[in-house]
Chains A and B, each alone.
Chain A
Amino acid sequence: MKAILRMAMQEVRAGIRNRLVLATTLVLAALAVSIVFLGSAPVGVVDADPVSLTVVSLASLTIFLVPLLALMLSFDTVVGEAERGTLLLLLSYPVTRWQIVAGKFLGQSVILVIATLLGFGAAGLLLLLQHGSDAGDWPAFIRLIASSILLGAVFIAIGGLVSVTVRERATAAGAAVGIWLVFVLLYDGALLALLVADQGRFIGTATLDALLLLNPTDAYRLYNLASDPRIAMLSGLTGTATAEGGSNAQQLLALLAWVVAPLALTVRVFSRRQP
């Protein structure tokens, strides 16, 4: 456990030193704060509280941004160290490979937690200053922050897997971008095309539920946008909320599975990798 914490601390320290923490925080803060400032402008005059509005807009943009930032943090975890030549030395120390994987994952997650808390927290503070504490659906906002961190952890784990699988850093970068495209854009498009072509003949709601939960970004979307009726109404997901997407617990479980599975696979691949 000590070794894991040391690895994690080193990762965070390096992140602070090379300004990754700062950059990530600024990107998320800029996004969140600008959304608060825009307010209801994008949706016109609706009967909704400012917090719910912010949650809807922020969740929709987080789906694009947080996976990208998370992959950026983690895609070269192992392959980067191998290329720099620091991996060999690290492996000669009394630290096992799973401890390295766990420690780096933990450290990168902490970086993302800092960025999310500060970035989204800035938006929350702004809402509080503008509208006071009864500005609306604060629990949804807290859920948004927590699930955004979880979504980030998913893509940190996936990026880590990429980093042990490939031999070159450039390949890892390419693979990370590809993975981002698939989960954030292509998957939903393909799913939609499938549903249109199927015309409801084979794919029932249960299958669709499962297919949606298979994509961590969809699980995140449903968790934040479809679970609260007021927010669902705002985000246009009222239809899906009642029939599809599974329960909140299922969505969170899906996200958790998407953290654990890539991590386990990373440890497995890493222990077979020849340094």
Chain B
Amino acid sequence: MSEPQQQQVNLGSLSLEQLQMVREQVEAEIQQLSESIQQLKHASNKYIEAKEAMGGLKGTDGKDMLVPLTSSIYLPGKINSNEKVLVDIGTGYYVEMGIEQGQNFSNRKVQLITEQVNKVQTAINMKRQNLESIVQVAQSKISLYKQQQAQQSQQQVQQK
């Protein structure tokens, strides 16, 4: 589906108040996108940890382990099988997978997230450029205003 139409704004035609509004909007958008990147990286780390955990299962067939019942009570147990894991693939669905298959799943997720991070970073860079344009236009307007003020002052002096 198409994104809502991005509004094109001719910065030169805006007043200083309007430029300030647009500037604040762009800054808010940058902040939001930055937070998105943090969340994506956090999710990516989870998948990496999961992959490492699955890797740690190899060669552990029949080994002793402790099963946590609560945060302070454990039961002794044995690993029955290290060939299968149950993977949460989203929206309440779980699939039984071999360890290699599960690790491939994690790899795919990390790759997808990396792609998204790159897209968001590109968007941030673009908005930062927009922000610089806004600041430049605002500054040139201020300079022009001061120039006009100075000229008016001179005219008034000459009239006296």
**A and B bound?**
no
B: which residues have CB within 8 A of A?
A: none
A: which residues have CB within 8 A of B?
A: none
